[in-house]
Structure 1
Amino acid sequence: MVEARPPLPPFTREGAIQKVRAAEDGWNGGNPEKVSLAYTADSRWRNRSDIFQGRPAIVAFLTRKWQQEQEYRLIKELWAFTDDRIAVRFAYEFHDEAGAWYRAYGNENWEFDAHGLMRVRHASINDLPISESERKFHWDRSGPRPADHPSLSDLDL
């Protein structure tokens, strides 16, 4: 039996915002296995030039990603939604193994099943090198973004 992941489609604006924040919090937690449970067992992904399917592939992808993108901090924001689809824009900051900092900007298109699990994820992302002094995402990496931390719109990103 599949466990439901509320809010469920059809989405309201409030439900879509909750879904976006739950995804942000999950990714900021940095646990690939836990994050993968928000997706269907056969979820299809396109992330930049990577195209793959299924939870084992999601776990492998996220494990590699967070080994390469260190001190990863992400902010997502609702862009649009329909009954079972949500579009978000996002930005995240990280540094590579050599200590060079980046801010990545992107958009994601999500499609959900009736249980609230994401079955399709398409992500387009661009990286911008930044200096450490240009960082805008400052919170304890071991937890989610604090409720009082500025949003992407508040930061003019």
Structure 2
Amino acid sequence: MSRPPLPPFTDESAALKARAAEDAWNSRDPARVALAYTPGSHWRNRAEFITGRPEIEAFLSRKWMRELDYRLIKEVWAHAGNRIAVRFVYEYHDDSGTWFRAHGNENWEFDAAGLMERRYASINEHPIAESERLFRWALGPRPQDHPGLSEIGL
């Protein structure tokens, strides 16, 4: 199975890869998201270590049961060869209605078929007032005309 764009990445193909990942995560469909990773993919997400698609799906299912109305934007920070570094911001609320904004960085490494073999994520979040939300598009992929992180000033 191949997941273009394939490494080595250019500025354009790295941006396409990041947008494809953003769109998949905004679907909040764990099975769809997991298909972008190798069967034995290794993750570090905050302090959690995850290996393989079944663990990825289980993790994402738990995540999106807690993080409601999740909306995410990713932006390429740097790339070289088969690696891409992105920064991201997402907003969500918990079951009590408290809104949060999370800021993070991910380092990605891909195999020759364009599947992610490694994902290392560092994330910090803080509560925000509902009035401070910046990501207000309908659930699903971010509209093409919606500004990215740099344009928003994040």
Structure 1 length as normaliser, TM-score?
A: 0.97
Q: Compute the displacement of 1:150 (Å).
A: 1.2
Q: What amino acid sits opposite 2:7 in the alignment?
A: P
Q: What amino acid sits opposite 2:146 in the alignment?
A: H
Residue 153 (structure 1) aligned with residue 145 (structure 2): no
> How far apart in 2 are the matches of 1:57 and 1:105?
23
What's the counterpart of residue 46 of structure 2?
48
What's the counterpart of residue 59 of structure 2?
61
What's the counterpart of residue 37 of structure 2?
39
**5+ long unaligned stretches in structure 2:** none
What's the counterpart of residue 133 of structure 1?
131
Q: Compute the displacement of 1:112 (Å).
A: 0.1
> How far apart in 1 are the matches of 2:90 and 2:141?
13
**What is the percentage of aligned positions where both structures have the same residue?**
63
What's the counterpart of residue 7 of structure 1?
5
Residue 86 (structure 1) aligned with residue 45 (structure 2): no
> How far apart in 1 are the matches of 2:50 and 2:136?
32
Structure 2 length as normaliser, TM-score?
A: 0.99
Counterparts in 2 of 1:91-110, with a 5 A limit? Answer: 91-110=89-108
> How far apart in 1 are the matches of 2:108 and 2:148?
20
Name the count of aligned residue pairs. 154
- Structure 1, residues 136-155: CA drift from partner, whole Å, max 9, x if none? 001110x2000111110111
Q: Compute the displacement of 1:52 (Å).
A: 1.4
**5+ long unaligned stretches in structure 1:** none
Q: Compute the displacement of 1:128 (Å).
A: 1.1
Q: Which runs of 4+ in 1 moved over 3 A?
A: none
Q: What amino acid sits opposite 1:155 in the alignment?
A: I
